[in-house]
Structure 1
Amino acid sequence: MVRSEKTRQFIIEKTATIFNKKGYIGTYLSDLTNATGLTKGSIYGNFKDKNEVAVEAFRYNYKQLTKDIALKLEQVDRSDEQLLVFLDFYKREYRKVFENGGCAILNTAVDADDGNELLKEEVVKALQSWRKTIEEIVEEGIKKSELKINNTADFVIKMIAMIEGSIMLAKVLNEPQILVKNMTLLEEEIKE
């Protein structure tokens, strides 16, 4: 990694949580300079504008969120167990997700929905990727008789919505049991 790539990565890592907690509009250049210890010129010498930093911060947050899940998915073969990997992750790791400001997908989606097309595009890509992954797992599970799901598309949307909605409610209300209980309900449905 050349020096400017290292600096870019440093800026991304130092500002990712700030963007996730404060949103694009709520994050100021002073937040970026304070977090990194760099000047405005150093930040904009490595990025075109705040928008580019925000997009890279979202990508970083999303990658951090999904890397543990991806590793665990590789360790199980059965489709039902693969779906349970997602739910178990959120049951076990919700504190880490909350400390980072919540789910990067949800936070960025709300922040960018009506105003920042570049960030919205990134969120859409992330959601489409997540949706495709779960759809593939479910379809494979149905083929192998490991899952009894009547409508793949409906189940996938319900699973993603329950995860995202539960994270939001549990974090805002400071009631983690909401998330844990809803993940357990989905687990029971998968195990049927």
Structure 2
Amino acid sequence: MTKSEHTKRFIIEKVAHIFNKKGAYGTSLSDITKATGLTKGAVYGNFQDKDTLAEACFDHNLKFFQKGLYKAIATQGNAWHKLEMVFAFYEEGFPFVYANGGCALMNSAVEADDGYPLLKQRTRSTFENWQKEMEGVIREGQTTGEFSRTANPTSIARLIIGGIEGAILVAKSTQDMDSFPKTLNHLKTIIEKELK
């Protein structure tokens, strides 16, 4: 790793959680310099502008989500077990998500939807990929006879995503961490009934 790459990584690791909590608009240059201990020139010597840094922080924050999701889906077992592993990943990872300002994907999507075009397409494609992965697991269960063939994979995938993201939003907004696993368990029950 070159010195420049090391510095870029250092900056991202120091400020990614700030961007997640405050957003790209709300994160100031003074937030960045204070967190890193670097000068404005040092920051902008490594990133073209704040937008470029915001994108890099989005990618960094998203890695936690992507690794956990793909690990759950790639697990051995039947389709329902894979869905259970997705729910388990979110339940186990929720304290980390909560402490770091909520779901990076949701936070970025909300900010991007309000006129931040740089991240708008990135968040959209991430949600679309997540939906495709969930649809794939559901179709796998339909092929093996585990799930009803009349179940709509797209609708159920969207219900899973919306339910998880909504549970995070409510728990974070009300500062009630205990509400998340309760909502997640209820969502799991609903999904299981939908797939029978």
TM-score range normalised by the length of the shorter chain: over 0.9
Aligned to 2:19: 19
Preserved CA contact (<8 Å) 1:80 1:190: no
Q: Unaligned regions of 5+ residues in structure 2, if any?
A: none
Query: Structure 1: which 4+ aligned runs deviate by more than 3 Å?
Result: 189-192
* Aligned mates of 1:126, 1:140 — CA distance in 2: 21
After TM superposition, the score normalised by the length of structure 1 is 0.93
Aligned to 1:56: 56
SS at structure 2 position matched to 1:110: helix
Aligned to 1:162: 163
Q: Mean Cα displacement is larger for which, 157-166 or 120-129?
A: 120-129
* Aligned mates of 2:136, 2:70 — CA distance in 1: 14
* Percentage identity across paired residues of the two chains: 40
Aligned to 2:41: 41
Q: How does 1:68-147 map to 2 (within 5 A)?
A: 68-147=68-147
SS at structure 2 position matched to 1:139: helix
Q: Mean Cα displacement is larger for which, 53-62 or 120-129?
A: 120-129
Aligned to 1:6: 6
Measured after TM superposition, the shift of residue 157 of structure 1 is 0.7
Q: Deviations over 1:81-127 (max 9, x none)?
A: 11111211222221111011000011111112121101111111211
* Aligned mates of 1:145, 1:4 — CA distance in 2: 53
Cα distance 1:81–1:190, how it changes in 2: closer, same or farther (>3 A)?
A: farther
* Aligned mates of 1:98, 1:126 — CA distance in 2: 20
* Aligned mates of 1:123, 1:70 — CA distance in 2: 17
Measured after TM superposition, the shift of residue 190 of structure 1 is 4.2
Measured after TM superposition, the shift of residue 134 of structure 1 is 0.7
* Aligned mates of 2:153, 2:73 — CA distance in 1: 19
Preserved CA contact (<8 Å) 2:12 2:56: yes
Q: Mean Cα displacement is larger for which, 51-60 or 110-119?
A: 110-119
* Aligned mates of 2:138, 2:34 — CA distance in 1: 45
Aligned to 1:184: 185
* Aligned mates of 1:72, 1:154 — CA distance in 2: 20
Q: Unaligned regions of 5+ residues in structure 1, if any?
A: none
SS at structure 2 position matched to 1:176: coil
RMSD of aligned alpha carbons: 1.5
Q: Mean Cα displacement is larger for which, 94-103 or 117-126?
A: 117-126
Preserved CA contact (<8 Å) 1:33 1:40: yes
Measured after TM superposition, the shift of residue 186 of structure 1 is 2.6
After TM superposition, the score normalised by the length of structure 2 is 0.92
* Aligned mates of 1:76, 1:186 — CA distance in 2: 23
Preserved CA contact (<8 Å) 1:147 1:190: no
